[in-house]
Structure 1
Amino acid sequence: MSEMQDYESSLSDPSSRKFETFSYLPEMEKDRIRKQVEYIVKQGWNPAIEHTETENAFGHYWYMWKLPMFGETDVDRILGEAEACHKAHPEHHVRLVGYDNYAQSQGASMVIFRGPIKV
């Protein structure tokens, strides 16, 4: 078994900051994002889109893009809303959230569009 590796990140270095589990992986391409949306829909979770300024991504409120898409199962419509949010706020991080009604929590949350890093 290999040793645990420390991931060097700090508040003073904006380029080192990570958001949720998926940000430790290479940036997802559109087909991979689509598969995540399909998974959220398959689980019966309610998708929602949120966004925030890059400098406020850690300790601040993320703005809701419209209302959560309760009961939405059309993957293209969900992706269309995410793209519309990104187009309206190109300087912001945009994340996709899957709300689990049963557990009353987020079943999934991932940044799917990253805003430019401000140093």
Structure 2
Amino acid sequence: MSGMQDYNSSLSDAAQSRKFETFSYLPAMSDEQIRQQIQFIISKGWNPSIEHTEPENARGSYWYMWKLPMFGETSVDNILAECEACHKAHPDNHVRLLGLDNYAQCAGASMVIYRGTPA
């Protein structure tokens, strides 16, 4: 048998066990680690974009856009402030941050910053 580790997943506790994006398989990121990921997005020249959705719809491909992407933004604090504003406006929703790559025309990074609470 391989040493592959399974993660706890259950339909009865979907809020805590469902996985979204790559980083959700790791322990929760600290505030400093989130700042480092945002700095990485900026260093790549990617455009930050913030999206949110209800927990029951998170597995779908459509998330609501929070304002327009932050084209050319280079301040980690400004990006974090917008993530917080989205979370305050939609406290029960998941909030994720994307790093949009203009050259490849795709998301170069995607991570859930805040987890919502299921209804």
* TM-score under structure 2 length normalisation: 0.90
Please provide the CA RMSD for this pair.
1.6
Helix, strand or coil for the counterpart of 2:4?
coil
Shift of 1:104: 0.6
- Counterpart of 2:41 in structure 1 is 40
CA distance in structure 2 between the aligned counterparts of 1:5 and 1:76, rounded to whole angstroms: 36
How many residues end up aligned between the 2 structures? 117
Helix, strand or coil for the counterpart of 1:106?
strand
Shift of 1:11: 4.6
Helix, strand or coil for the counterpart of 1:32?
helix
Helix, strand or coil for the counterpart of 1:28?
coil
Alignment check: 8 A CA contact 2:54 2:118 kept: no
Unaligned runs of 5+ in 2: none
* TM-score under structure 1 length normalisation: 0.90
CA distance in structure 2 between the aligned counterparts of 1:105 and 1:91, rounded to whole angstroms: 27
Q: Deviations over 1:58-109 (max 9, x none)?
A: 0251000000001111111111000000011110000000000111111000
Tell me the percent identity. 71
Q: How does 1:1-119 map to 2 (within 5 A)?
A: 3-11=3-11, 13-14=13-14, 15-118=16-119
Unaligned runs of 5+ in 1: none
> Which shows bigger deviation, 34-43 or 2-11?
2-11
Shift of 1:117: 3.9
